[in-house]
Amino acid sequence: MPHQMPLPPTFTTAPNVARMYDYFLGGKENFAADRAMAEKVLRLVPQVRTYARLNREFLVRATLFLAGEAGITQFVDIGSGLPTQRNVHEVAQQIAPGARVVYVDNDPMVLVHARALLATDAQTRVADADLRKPSSIVGHREVLNLIDWSKPVAVLLVAVLHSITDTDDPRRIIGELCAAMAPGSYLVISHVEQRPELVRAADLYRNANAPVVPRTAEEIAALLSGLDLVEPGLVRLPLWRPRELEMWPEELDAPLLGAVGRVASTRTGGG
């Protein structure tokens, strides 16, 4: 029986970022408090559902690139969220059947669902750890069961870095993760960009279990310094190796930036 954390008393009554994202994606793993706050966000930013979908589509394209062209067979998906369609191990194993995936999150409900729905074979594990403490992820028993840090690995930080405040120092976190990654490894990020309506929406997340901190393109680019970005670099998500040539203007203008960076043999500018 997997280890189960006691749930906090406000578990269902306080809005929760993973369950709100699930609601935006059309999922059913959310409660009234999540839906009420998600609706407030939608009033400020009516395109949020599109943005959530674009984020998932980016995650799938990045995973296909990593398992295919980049030849990566081990993945650590941090801030993995509630299981949805086309989870990382399903996408990676489509191309590389031997691919191993560890899902990491610090949300008790995400962990329960991930253990039930994702960690269903020997190649997939779930780890309860906090991104703010990278060493707790790198050295986690479930991670070490599947991941050999001396070989290239892909670490995914998709739609989670904007839950890290400047006080918790996302640059330090990325530096510590990359220091553990073998040369030839890859880091994937997506991040909400700073725009007035998103700053107002982010303010609503003060009442949620994790914050949202929109950052400028320059601030997001600075998080990636020292990594070799694969083409096309840091771009709006629909423009990262698109499969469709036709896109709606609201998609092209989506305030979400993403990139895939390669860890070079000697990394400079680490945190």
Ligand X SMILES: C[S@@+](CC[C@H](N)C(=O)[O-])C[C@H]1O[C@@H](n2cnc3c(N)ncnc32)[C@H](O)[C@@H]1O
Number of H helices, E strands in the chain: 11, 8
Smallest separation (angstroms) from ligand X to the CB of 268:
26
Binding site residues, ligand X, CB under 6 A: 17-18, 21, 55-56, 59, 79-81, 105-107, 110, 130-132, 158-160, 163, 210
Q: Is 47 exposed, middle or buried (0-12, 13-18, 19+ CB in 10 A)?
A: middle
Whichever of 56 and 171 has its CB closer to ligand X, that residue is 56
How far apart are the C-alpha atoms of 184 and 163, rounded to whole Å?
27
Minimum Å distance from CB 26 to ligand X?
Answer: 13
Q: What six digits make up the tokens of 64?
A: 């296909």
What tokens were used for 91?
A: 């996408």
Task: Look up residue 234 and give its two tokens.
Answer: 């840091």
Listing DSSP states for 215-253 in one string gives: B-HHHHHHHTTTSEEPTT-SEEGGGSS-S-S---HHHHT
Residue (90 or 130) nearer to ligand X, CB: 130
**35: Cβ–Cβ under 8 A, 6 or more apart, which residues?**
23
Task: Output the smallest distance, CB 185 to ligand X, in A.
Answer: 18
Sign of CA dihedral 48, 218, 18, 199: negative
- Provide, rounded to whole angstroms, the least separation between the CB of residue 84 and ligand X: 7
Residue closer to ligand X by CB (options 59, 67) is 59
- Report d(CA 59, CA 56) in Å as an integer: 5
The distance of closest approach from Cβ of residue 70 to ligand X in the complex, given in angstroms and rounded to an integer, is 19
Contact 140, 125 (CB under 8 A): no
Least Cβ distance, residue 101 to ligand X (angstroms): 13
Least distance to ligand X from the beta carbon of 176, Å? 13
Q: Which of 179, 102, 200 lies closest to 134 in space, CA to CA?
A: 179
Residue 127 or 178 having the CB closest to ligand X: 127
Q: Which is nearer to ligand X, 49 or 184 (CB)?
A: 49
106, 121 in Cβ contact below 8 A?
no
Nearer to ligand X by Cβ, of 18 and 201: the residue is: 18
Closest contact distance (angstroms) between CB of 208 and ligand X is 10
How far apart CA 103 and CA 107 sit, in angstroms, is: 12
Q: Which is nearer to ligand X, 131 or 257 (CB)?
A: 131
Nearer to ligand X, 63 or 123 (CB): 63
